């Protein structure tokens, strides 16, 4: 009887949700259509595919989006790898050792959890560019993103859920902590590792304010900033946003793929790292 | 003389507050009052000793006029900032000490003793520190040191690209209050760059930030609830919608900004196309100071709505079906069921999303604003983070930008305290 009731009402759900999908999807569809259009085609019919994909692509390549794209791949992979590795090691230290000063180390890391990077960005800029002399360098771009309080807690929490017996057995077998990490913990933690890696990759890919400040050379810029090189390119009418849209679509391919492949991991990891 | 008076006053306040707030533990009452006195004394010193109490020196004034009850009053902004620092210092010191005292009263220790567990590896003295070293060094270098630097930069005249700095006491803060934004005089710098906001009154900026916060939180949660309420149900094809609805969340702020720039751009954009197609007048999304902030709110909501929908779907699915059925057998209509069963069960998720979206609205809009409006028209869409960038990097005034960062930091603190307070209350309601 319940099933009946559900089916009777369900066409309304379809109408409602199709409406929602259309409204939320229109900007995406519009961006994709625009990336194939010239200004004239946009004015004629903004919601139909145009003929100017090749021209737009030429402009995008002329403003060297492929270079900033590659820079972004390198930076986000480095950030994701570094963050995951650092958090893994810190989680290991907190979960499997008893040592003097543990509480202070823990509190020091915990406290940074609520500090958004934007608040410190001015002083950080001066520290990295003046004190460390890393202005306009790859190291200056990625290093500030490496430490992660959320990642450390993610692993700590995950490791505490692993039965103590495993660690006891490992110690009796004479394993050292690093062997335990390599042979027992990592194989048991792939879900968490992938989740953190994927989130960190997306966060690194979306960095904008920091690269805008620290990188001054267009050739080492990241793709989010590189998009504005398209609109600044010579001889382009200010209203012709087709090339910019193509650039936006291209720069969204990696996060979309990551999102598609790892959706389950991603949301699970996000839920854990944010709710706890 | 003045430092003495301030310190004495702060000590008395600390003692009094602690004397009054621990009336039950009479045995410890005197000791608590002493602690409060010490905290009260130390509070203002934290900010005032580095500044050498300069905000209270008569030669250091920053006058501005304020119309109050029809009368023009002359006020000294530097003095106000100084008083603000002292009050904040006392408050922060008392809060920290009070939390510690409560912790000791409740548990008997400040630093919790470490558990014994067979999980722990024994006899690796320095290894845990070695494992922690990269993380600790990174947060020391890229979080704690910049945080301290922010304090020192905020009290100095610091120009981008110039090594030398000069102390300016609280001028950077005083200008937040005394500066004028309305007549945003576009000054021409000696190096020929044109920029606005040389002298910014902070109040309109706060207004924009709060408008974003309220608008985004309200829209993203109402729409998220409405869509989640339908999309969580089990019917054929439901999971397809669920996947389709969260896509915008995969896009970066910059890409979202670029898309909305092209949708809202005058004459050629989709929005104006649709409106003129229906014979309606165009809306000046990006040119009107009254409409432009809405464009930011709409774009931001579109970007993050998928995240909220996902969490609301999970939340709705966790509401026990038998509870709802029992209520409907008892004659509760769907509105009553929603208000009295579903909504309370969703409370933790609503609470989480509220703070998550609030943090987003305050701190993550930079790329969006930069792409869609560039802070314009005439600063109408610029929020605090955007202003920090404009001031610090474009206008090369790192000192003033650092002062604004500190204001933003206090908002972070407020949000954190609010979150903990509400969490506490929720926990006590449940228990």
In a domain? residue B142? no
Residue B355: inside a domain = yes
| Domain shared by B92 and B238, yes or no | no
The CA distance from A167 to A223, in Å, is 44
Residue A87 has pLDDT above 70, yes or no: yes
Asked whether the bond before A11 is cis by omega within 30 degrees of 0, the reply is no
Q: What pLDDT, on the 0 to 100 scale, is given for residue B258?
A: 93
Amino acid A2: pLDDT = 47
Nearest to A138 by CA among A194, A77, A86, A88: A77
Averaged pLDDT score across all residues of chain B: 83
Question: B197 in a domain, yes or no?
Answer: no
Q: How far apart are CA B272 and CA B267, in angstroms?
A: 6
Look at residue B360 in the predicted model and tell me its pLDDT.
Answer: 92
Question: Which residue, B108, B135, B164, sits at the end of a domain?
Answer: B108
Query: Given a cut of 80, is residue A237 above it in pLDDT?
Result: no
Tell me how far apart the alpha carbons of residues B401 and B419 are, in angstroms, rounded to a whole number.
Answer: 27
Can you give the pLDDT at residue A262? 79
Q: Residues of B numbered 331-360 whose beta carbons fall under 8 angstroms of chain A's beta carbons: which are they?
A: 352, 356, 359
pLDDT value, residue B194: 35
Nearest to A116 among B111, B138, B359 (CB): B359
Confidence check: pLDDT of B291 > 90: no
Contact A214/A128 with Cβ under 8 angstroms? yes
Compute the half-sphere exposure of residue B393: CA atoms within 13 Å on the CB side of its CA. Answer: 21
Burial of A209 (0-12, 13-18, 19+ CB in 10 A): buried
Burial of residue B61, with CB atoms counted within 10 A of its CB: 0-12 exposed, 13-18 middle, 19 or more buried: middle
Write out residues 13-72 of B within 8 Å (CB-CB) of A: none
Residue B386 and residue B254 in one domain: yes
Contacts of A92 (CB under 8 A, 6+ apart): A155, A159, A177, A181, A185, B131
**Do B288 and B409 belong to one domain?**
yes
Domains of chain A (ranges plus CATH)? 2-53 (no CATH), 57-238+247-275 (1.10.3720.10)
In a domain, B153, yes or no: no
How high is the ipTM of this complex?
0.89
| Residue of A102, A200, A177, A276 lying closest to B132 (CA atoms) | A102
> A59-68, B53-62, B117-126 — which is least confidently predicted?
B53-62
Residue B391 to residue B400: CA distance in whole angstroms: 7
Same domain, B357 and B209: yes
> How many angstroms separate the first and last alpha carbons of chain A?
40
Task: Select the residue of A24, A42, A127 nearest B302 (Cβ to Cβ).
Answer: A24
Number of H helices, E strands in chain A: 16, 0
Asked if residue B109 has pLDDT above 60, the reply is yes
Smallest Cα distance from B357 to chain A, Å? 12
Contact A191, A214 (CB under 8 A): no
Q: Region B57-70: what's the mean pLDDT?
A: 70
Taken in order A54, A60, A61, A63, the sign of the CA dihedral is: positive
Tell me the pLDDT band of B287, cut-offs 50, 70 and 90.
confident
Q: Does position A61 have pLDDT exceeding 80, yes or no? A: yes
Chain B closest CA to A166's CA: distance in Å? 8
pLDDT at B427: 54
Per-residue pLDDT band for A268 (boundaries 50, 70, 90) equals low
Widest distance between CA atoms in chain B: 80
Report B:210-229 residues touching A (Cβ under 8 A). 227
Q: Report percent pLDDT > 70 for chain B.
A: 90
Q: Is residue B47 part of a domain?
A: yes
Q: How far apart are CA A208 and CA B256, in angstroms?
A: 13
pLDDT of residue A29: 92
CB contact under 8 A, B111 and A86: no
- Residue B295 and residue B413 in one domain: yes
Q: What is the pLDDT of residue B4?
A: 85
Q: Do B100 and B110 touch, CB atoms closer than 8 A?
A: yes
Residue B431: the pLDDT is 40
Which percentage of chain B shows pLDDT scores above 90?
24
User: Would you say residue B139 lies in a domain?
Assistant: no
Total structural domains in chain B?
2
Domain end (from B81, B108, B135)? B108
Average pLDDT over residues B306-318: 89
Q: Which of B107-121, B297-311, B404-418 is predicted least confidently?
A: B107-121
Q: Is the pLDDT of residue B396 over 60?
A: yes
Contact A123 B150 (CB under 8 A): yes
Could you say which of B128, B147, B267 has the minimum Cβ distance to residue A120? B147
Residue A30 is nearest to which of B231, B235, B263, comparing CB atoms? B263
CA distances from B297 to A185, B167, B249, B362 (A): 44, 39, 15, 12
What integer is the mean pLDDT of A203-214?
94
Q: Are residues B97 and B208 in the same domain?
A: no
- How much is the pLDDT for B223? 96
The Cα–Cα gap between B37 and B22 comes to 14
B57: three-class secondary structure by DSSP: coil
In the listed set B55, B76, B108, which residue is the last one of a domain according to the structure? B108
Q: Specify the higher pLDDT residue, A72 or B187.
A: A72
Q: Which of B322, B135, B342 is nearest to A154 (CA)?
A: B135
Mean per-residue pLDDT for B126-139?
94
Residue B298 has pLDDT above 80, yes or no: yes
Domain ranges, residue B39:
2-108
Q: How far is CA B22 from CA B11, B17, B99, B106, B181, in A?
A: 17, 9, 12, 13, 46
Residue B420, chain A, CB below 8 Å: the answer is: no
Alpha-carbon Rg for chain A in angstroms = 24
Is residue B228 domain-shared with residue B370, that is, in the same domain?
Answer: yes
Please state, in angstroms and rounded to a whole number, the distance separating the CA atoms of residues A118 and A124: 10
The verdict on A259 touching B (C-beta cutoff 8 Å) is yes
The pair of structure tokens assigned to B348 is 């933790």
Q: Tell me how far apart the alpha carbons of residues B31 and A146 are, in angstroms, rounded to a whole number.
A: 44
What is the pLDDT at residue B182? 39
Would the CB atoms of B135 and A86 count as touching at under 8 Å?
yes
Cβ of B304 under 8 Å from any chain A Cβ? no
Structure tokens at B310: 């996902």
- Split at pLDDT 50, 70, 90, the class of B107 is confident
Question: Does pLDDT of A271 surpass 80?
Answer: no
Residue B159 domain-assigned?
no
What are the counts of helices (DSSP H) followed by strands (DSSP E) for chain B? 17, 6
The mean per-residue pLDDT over the stretch A128-133 comes to 92
What does the DSSP assignment read for A185-231?
IHHH-HHHHHHHHHHHHHHHHT--HHHHHH---GGG--HHHHHHHHH
With a pLDDT cut of 90, the percent of chain A lying above it is 50
What chain B residue is nearest to A276 in terms of C-alpha separation? B352
**Per-residue pLDDT at B184 exceeds 50:** no
Query: CATH number, domain at B365?
Result: 1.10.3720.10
The residue assigned the tokens 């690209």 is B161
Top residue of B103, B114, B132, B157 to mutate, by most chain A CBs within 10 Å, is B132
Give the up-direction half-sphere exposure of residue A84: CA atoms within 13 A in the CB hemisphere.
23
Contact B228, B316 (CB under 8 A): yes
């Amino acid at each position: 009887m319940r099933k009946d009731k559900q089916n009777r009402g369900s066409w309304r759900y379809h109408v409602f949700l199709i409406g929602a999908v259309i409204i939320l999807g229109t900007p995406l569809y519009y961006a994709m259509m625009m990336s194939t259009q010239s200004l004239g085609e946009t004015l004629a019919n903004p919601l139909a595919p145009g003929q100017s994909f090749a021209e737009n692509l030429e402009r995008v390549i002329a403003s060297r989006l492929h270079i900033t794209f590659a820079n972004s791949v390198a930076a986000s992979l480095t950030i994701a790898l570094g963050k995951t590795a650092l958090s893994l090691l810190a989680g290991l230290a907190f979960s499997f050792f008893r040592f003097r000063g543990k509480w202070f180390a823990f509190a020091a890391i915990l406290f940074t959890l609520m500090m958004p990077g934007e608040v410190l960005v001015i002083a950080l800029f001066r520290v990295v560019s003046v004190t460390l002399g890393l202005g306009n360098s790859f190291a200056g771009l990625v290093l500030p993103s490496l430490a992660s309080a959320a990642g450390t807690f993610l692993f700590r929490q995950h490791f505490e859920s692993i039965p103590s017996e495993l660690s006891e057995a490992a110690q009796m077998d004479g394993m050292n902590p690093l062997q335990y990490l390599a042979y027992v913990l990592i194989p048991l933690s792939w879900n968490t590792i992938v989740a953190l890696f994927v989130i960190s990759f997306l966060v690194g890919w979306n960095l904008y304010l920091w690269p805008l400040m620290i990188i001054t050379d267009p050739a080492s810029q990241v793709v989010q900033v590189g998009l504005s090189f398209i609109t600044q390119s010579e001889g382009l009418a200010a209203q012709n946003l087709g090339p910019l849209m193509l650039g936006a679509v291209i720069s969204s391919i990696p996060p979309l793929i990551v999102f598609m492949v790892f959706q389950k991991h991603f949301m699970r990891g996000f839920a854990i790292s944010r709710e706890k | 003389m003045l430092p003495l008076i301030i310190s004495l006053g702060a000590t008395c306040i600390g003692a009094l507050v602690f004397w009054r707030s621990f009336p039950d533990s009479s045995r410890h009452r005197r000791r608590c009052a002493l602690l409060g006195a010490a905290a009260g004394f130390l509070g203002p010193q934290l900010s005032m000793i580095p500044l050498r109490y300069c905000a209270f020196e008569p030669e250091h004034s920053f006058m501005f006029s304020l119309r109050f009850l029809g009368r023009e009053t002359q006020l000294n902004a530097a003095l106000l900032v100084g008083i603000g620092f002292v009050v904040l210092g006392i408050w922060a010191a008392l809060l920290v000490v009070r939390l510690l005292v409560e912790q000791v009263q409740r548990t008997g220790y400040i630093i919790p003793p470490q558990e014994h567990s067979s999980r722990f590896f024994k006899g690796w003295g320095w290894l845990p520190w070695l494992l922690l070293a990269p993380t600790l060094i990174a947060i020391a270098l890229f979080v704690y040191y910049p945080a301290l630097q922010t304090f020192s930069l905020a009290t100095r005249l610091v120009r981008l690209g110039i090594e030398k700095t000069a102390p300016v006491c609280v001028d950077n803060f005083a200008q937040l209050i005394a500066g004028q934004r309305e007549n945003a005089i576009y000054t021409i710098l000696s190096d020929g760059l044109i920029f606005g906001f040389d002298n910014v009154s902070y109040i309109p900026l706060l207004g924009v930030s709060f408008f974003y916060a309220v608008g985004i939180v309200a829209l993203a949660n109402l729409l998220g609830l409405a869509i989640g309420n339908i999309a969580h149900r089990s019917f054929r094809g439901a999971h397809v919608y669920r996947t389709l609805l969260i896509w915008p969340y995969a896009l970066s702020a910059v890409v979202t900004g670029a898309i909305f720039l092209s949708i809202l751009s005058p004459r050629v954009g989709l929005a104006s196309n649709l409106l003129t197609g229906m014979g309606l007048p165009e809306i000046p999304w990006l040119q009107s100071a009254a409409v432009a902030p809405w464009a930011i709110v709409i774009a931001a909501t579109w970007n993050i709505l998928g995240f909220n929908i996902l969490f609301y779907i999970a939340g709705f699915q966790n509401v026990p079906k038998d509870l709802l059925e029992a209520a409907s057998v008892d004659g509760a209509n769907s509105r009553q069921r929603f208000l009295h069963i579903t909504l309370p069960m969703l409370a933790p998720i609503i609470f989480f999303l509220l703070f998550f979206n609030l943090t987003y609205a305050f701190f993550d809009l930079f790329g969006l604003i930069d792409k869609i409006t560039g802070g314009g028209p005439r600063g109408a869409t610029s929020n605090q983070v955007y202003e920090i960038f404009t001031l610090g990097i474009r206008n090369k005034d790192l000192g003033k930008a650092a002062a604004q960062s500190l204001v933003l930091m206090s908002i972070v603190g407020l949000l954190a305290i609010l979150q903990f307070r509400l969490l506490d209350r929720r926990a006590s309601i449940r228990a």
